[in-house]
């Protein structure tokens, strides 16, 4: 399974690539803002274009998703083509991230704007990562329109179920794959947890031989990554903290303390 870093922070990108543990990058406007604000706080002058190009070079040979911000089909196609033209020549690894459905709650008639944009961008041979997917049905439509990656958001489904049940939680808390056993809102239209969303999507793609890759997104802890791997996700994208958590276990630490204490001086001199 491929592991992507969900970040626009160059130092994090450099670090995970230097270790050979990262297969791609996902960015969104919120992550780019976070990275740029951090640099500005330090008084560093930032050209966003140069900054993104640096990230693309580090990730050369692996996909980097850059997101559109327009909410109508024409706007997304224009932005997607512009982003691709401007950034893809740097390392030939740009994927355009398009929301599956861009309508706001009060709007009607925009349900397919994202799907149409995916279709048109793919027609122009631009690789697409379809984002903000919360049901297997949305995933199916995005795949039929030709999206290369389809990104169901696991963590936000867990948030929804916890909020609807008025639970106190931290975003990175583990949420059971099998869902809640008590409460009024046990599922979101048949989806009992974020990992269940990934599992159902991956199973549908498997049964029907759908070629789009399932990119499990909005993952906030290591156990979620493990469960998504078992559920058949092709890719998991996560923040740097989750990469760190994946490398960590208290018994590994205890073992290090013990080995370090026990090691005789003669052995330390040898190694
Ligand atoms: O890749 C999408 C991701 O950035 C969303 O994560 O934690 O804000 O739900 P989160």
pLDDT band at 34 (very low <50, low <70, confident <90, very high): confident
Give how many domains the chain has, as a whole number.
Answer: 1
CATH code of the domain in which 207 resides: 3.20.20.70
Q: What is the pLDDT of residues 191-224, one digit of tens each?
A: 999 999 999 999 999 999 999 999 999 999 999 9
> Is any ligand 1 atom within 6 A of the Cβ of residue 17?
no
Q: How high is the pLDDT of residue 47?
A: 85
Residue ID of nearest Cα to ligand 1 atom 9? 218
Any idea which of 41-55, 88-102, 240-254 has the lowest mean pLDDT?
41-55
Q: Which atom of ligand 1 is nearest to the CA of 217?
A: 1
Mean pLDDT of 11-21: 97
Domain range for 265: 2-270
Mean pLDDT of 147-175: 98
Sequential DSSP letters for the chain: -EEEEE---HHHHHHHHHTT----EE--HHHHHHHHHHHHHTT----HHHHHHHHHHHTTTS-EEEE----SHHHHHHHHHHHHHHHHHHHS-EEEEEES----TT--S-TTHHHHHHHHHHHTT--EEEEEE-SHHHHHHHHHHT-SEEEEBHHHHHHHHHHHTT----TTS---TT--SSSS---BTTB-SHHHHHHHHHHHHHHTT--SEEEEEEE-SHHHHHHHHHTT-SEEEE-HHHHHHHT--HHHHHHHHHHHHH--HHHHHH-
Query: What percentage of the chain carries pLDDT values higher than 70?
Result: 100
Q: How high is the pLDDT of residue 45?
A: 81
Mean pLDDT of 59-82: 97
Residue ID of nearest Cα to ligand 1 atom 6? 218
pTM: 0.95
> Is any ligand 1 atom within 6 A of the Cβ of residue 220?
yes
């Amino acid at each position: 399974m491929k592991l992507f870093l969900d970040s626009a922070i160059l130092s994090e990108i450099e670090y995970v690539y230097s270790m050979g543990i990262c297969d791609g990058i996902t960015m969104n406007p919120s992550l780019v803002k976070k990275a740029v604000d951090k640099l500005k706080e330090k008084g560093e002058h930032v050209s966003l274009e140069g900054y993104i190009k640096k990230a693309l070079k580090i990730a050369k040979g692996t996909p980097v998703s850059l997101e559109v911000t327009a909410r109508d089909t024409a706007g997304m196609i224009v932005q997607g083509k512009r982003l691709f033209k401007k950034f893809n020549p740097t390392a030939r690894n740009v994927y355009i991230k398009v929301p599956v459905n861009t309508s706001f709650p009060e709007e009607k008639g925009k349900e397919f704007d994202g799907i149409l944009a995916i279709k048109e961008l793919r027609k122009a041979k631009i690789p697409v990562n379809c984002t903000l997917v919360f049901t297997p049905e949305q995933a199916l439509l995005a795949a039929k329109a030709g999206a290369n990656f389809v990104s169901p958001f696991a963590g936000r489904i867990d948030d929804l179920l916890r909020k609807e049940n008025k639970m106190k939680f931290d975003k990175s808390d583990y949420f059971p794959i099998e869902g809640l056993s008590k409460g009024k809102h046990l599922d979101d239209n048949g989806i009992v947890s974020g990992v269940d969303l990934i599992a159902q999507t991956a199973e549908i793609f498997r049964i029907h031989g759908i070629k789009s890759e399932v990119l499990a997104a909005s993952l906030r802890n290591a156990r979620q990554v493990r469960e998504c791997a078992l559920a058949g996700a092709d890719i998991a994208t996560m923040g740097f903290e989750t990469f760190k958590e994946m490398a960590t276990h208290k018994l590994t630490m205890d073992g290090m303390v013990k080995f370090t204490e026990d090691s005789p001086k003669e052995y330390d001199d040898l190694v």
